[in-house]
Amino acid sequence: MAEAGYPGYAEDGLQAPRKALGARLAAAGNDPAKLRALGAEEIRTAEADARCEADTDLAEVVATVQAAVEARLLTPADRAALDRFRTLKERALATP
């Protein structure tokens, strides 16, 4: 994100851009020009964030870490309950 012109993620946390946009929204009031500019900035921020996530393989990293944590923490009873829930959910979603 810093390379895309959004410094501060590491220091201010992942919500820093959202907080900055929120502050600008409050200041924009009902001014159409300010709101349009803010909307455009929000889209640019989202696009930069999506590129950053793709470049760093964030989804794959999160999935790998989550699977490792679940493998350590879920008991056999937990896994059975999740399997039952998954089956019931699939059945409910398949019903017209």
Task: Determine the pLDDT at residue 17.
Answer: 84
Task: Determine the pLDDT at residue 69.
Answer: 93
Query: Residue 30 is encoded by which pair of tokens?
Result: 């009902």
Is residue 49 within 8 A of residue 18, CB to CB? The reply is: no
Distance CA 8, CA 15 (A): 10
Task: Determine the pLDDT at residue 16.
Answer: 83
Task: Determine the pLDDT at residue 4.
Answer: 80
pTM of the model: 0.63
Q: Which residue type does 40 have?
A: A
pLDDT tens, position by position, for the chain (96 residues)?
778 877 777 677 778 888 889 999 999 999 999 999 999 999 998 999 899 899 999 999 999 999 999 889 989 999 999 999 999 999 999 987
Q: Give the CA-trace dihedral at 35, 16, 50, 33, to 10 degrees.
A: 10
Output DSSP code: residue 74.
-
Q: Which residue type does 35 have?
A: L
